[in-house]
Amino acid sequence: MSRVLAGPWAGQLLGDYGADVLKIEKPGCGDDTRHWGPPWLHGEDAESAYFLSANRNKRSVTVNIAAPAGQEIIRALVEQSDVLLENYRHGTMARYGLGPDEMLSVNPRLIYCSISSYGQSGSRADQPGYDAMIQASAGLMSVTGPPPNEAGGPQKVGVAISDIMAGMYATTAILAALNSRAGSGLGQHIDVPLYDSQVAWLANQNMNFLIGGKTPQPMGTAHPNLVPYQAFETRDSFLMLAVGNDRQFDACCKVMGLEALADDPRFSTMHQRIANREALIPKLERKFRERETDDWLTCLLKESIPAGPINDIAEVLSNDYAQEKTLVRELQNGNNVSVPTVSNPVAFGATPVHYDKAPPLLGEHTDEVLRSRLGYSDAQIETLRQDEVI
């Protein structure tokens, strides 16, 4: 019972791992992101690329949860389900009699997971929110973008990463709750706020402040705790260098013909390189501009120095490595239209990821689920449709 990205991302992951996922959508319009185009799969009335990114391995069932008969459908599905995942605004589900207390009374083994902007309690619980404002208010944009002395200002990440990471937290929490239920026999309510999730995964930047006492600042492609660890311009493009220890720095200096830098006490340890960043980086920048990216990468990788090109998405999804790893797969939807999808990155040894269903058409599986799961007759289904319940 989720839409947009955080909830659907969690649902897609669970579907990839083998769950039978029923996506409950509003009749007539469905998930908001179905209409977030262009681009569209097959004409403007079809699914948007955005929707297709987060909804494979699901069956679409349209239910009007504002109607009592629709609420009864949800309760009947809950009776035989393991998980209810929702990301409505706080209080919405309870207003329709579908909140966690009500649903856990229907099925005490249920895992009820709520994703919302600020969680189910606290002074901000009723406030709405989307990914971009969470990136801003929960700290990510304060460390993303060019340094303060350069033009550009704060920037958000190029994908809705706050939503995606909240979805990842929700997935792991659901799996942990299912594991707990295996011992206790009881379900529970899980509360996943986007804001708190965003704060949590600021990781080393959080600790840099808590331990060091200084507010982290944006640094472009550079790293606050590692040097040199940033993009460098070459003769023809850019490369990303990621030196993580002193051995790699020594090897990097030798590859670049800058052996003296490795012996310079200002740069001999990571601590010293961080302290003397402004003296070191210009020396590397001048040297990198002398040769082309491919030439540098060949030399660097030969010595096991982490470095890579800055590829655009077209390159990432179409190069030889994408073919080797099968990063893109094709699924057939209910209209027999081929739908591209990007592979789940996890490789299981015994329980492979499922690629069973293309993202569903709106309401594609409503009749099927009502018949097979709940035993509704054709006449009952037709009445529900005439009453605009489904």
Residues classed as catalytic: 163
- Amino acid identity of residue 199, one-letter, is V
Q: What is the DSSP string of 256-268?
A: TT-HHHHHSTTTS
Residue 125 in 3-state DSSP?
A: coil
Q: How far apart are CA 269 and CA 122, in angstroms?
A: 46
Q: How far apart are CA 297 and CA 374, in angstroms?
A: 59
Nearest to 274 by CA among 208, 239, 227: 227
- 286 forms beta bridges with none
Which residue stretches of 139-292 are H helix? 161-184, 194-200, 203-212, 246-255, 259-263, 270-275, 277-288
Task: Tell me the residue ranges of DSSP E strands in the chain.
Answer: 21-25, 58-62, 83-86, 111-116, 188-193, 229-233, 238-242, 307-309, 328-332, 338-342
Q: How far apart are CA 130 and CA 121, in angstroms?
A: 18
DSSP one-letter code for 344 = P
CB under 8 Å to 165, separation ≥6 — which residues?
197, 198, 201
